Amino acid sequence: MSTLTPPASSAPWDLVAFDFDGTLVDSFALFLEVHNELAARHGFARIEPEQVEELRQLDARGLIRHLKVPAWRLPLIVHQARRIMARRRASVAPFPGVPEALRELHASGVRLALLTSNSRDTCEQVLGPRDWALFEQAVCGVSLFGKAAKLSRLARRAGLAPQRVLYVGDQLGDGEAAHAAGMAFGAVGWGYMPLAALEACGPRVRLREPADIARLAGNAEARP
């Protein structure tokens, strides 16, 4: 039985855009490793194992404040993090069931896109050529707080009204960016933030397991 929130309409979105880290691929362990390595280099707080569940409740701005990451140095830190993660991307893989669900959604006629702060090379290598080819647009290297403008541009390039696009992600910032761009937000329950925490940004759809991605073809709207 589907765990997707019951639909209010059977008409699909024309395009579903996805975040990458925590949404399509399981990179949380690598994120912690890289964060703690850069914390030692730049002098901000580490994330200890006993802190993980508490910190998963925070959005990106809250996490930056809590860990005392210097805002003026953030662009350099993000750049270094991307480079380290790119070198270690062999340790990252899609969540089980995600590739199959993406292929099924694409085969149903829904157009797919990718919008992420991670690098293009990392996304392409981790997904592999077969699944990378499913995405008609891949907008990579987006700044942590620049997703809304990029989502708006993505919709324009696709020739679609924002209301015909769903953005699927795992963080409050993803939901906020989707709403700012006039799009619906789909929250996943297996990513960096727990599904309950994502309720704060009013997701239209809640995906509780990767198989629910495929069912988006028949669930353009969803009730809370």
Residue position matching structure tokens 């380290």: 84
* Mean pLDDT score of the chain: 88
Who wins on pLDDT, 43 or 167? 167
C-alpha pair distances (Å), 209 with each of 33, 152, 184, 214? 25, 27, 19, 10
Return the CATH number of the domain spanning residue range 7-26+93-222: 3.40.50.1000
Residue 215, pLDDT score: 92
The pLDDT tens digits for 97-133 are 999 999 999 999 999 999 999 999 999 999 999 999 9
The pLDDT tens digits for 75-104 are 888 888 888 888 888 889 999 999 999 999
Tell me the whole-structure pTM to 2 decimals.
0.86
Average pLDDT over residues 153-174: 96
Question: Highest mean pLDDT: which of 48-52, 73-77, 159-163?
Answer: 159-163
The Cα–Cα gap between 24 and 152 comes to: 21
The Cα–Cα gap between 188 and 168 comes to: 7
The pLDDT tens digits for 207-219 are 999 999 999 987 5
Strands 221-222, 7-9: pairing is: antiparallel
The Cα–Cα gap between 214 and 101 comes to: 5
Tokens of 182: 């006039």
Domain ranges within the chain, ordered by starting residue: 7-26+93-222, 28-91
Residue position matching structure tokens 């030692």: 40
Choose the weakest-confidence range: 2-16, 22-36, 147-161, 194-208: 2-16
Please report the DSSP string for 160-180 in residue order: --GGGEEEEESSHHHHHHHHH
Average pLDDT over residues 12-27: 94
Residue 200, pLDDT score: 93
Residue 21, pLDDT score: 94
Residue 219, pLDDT score: 52
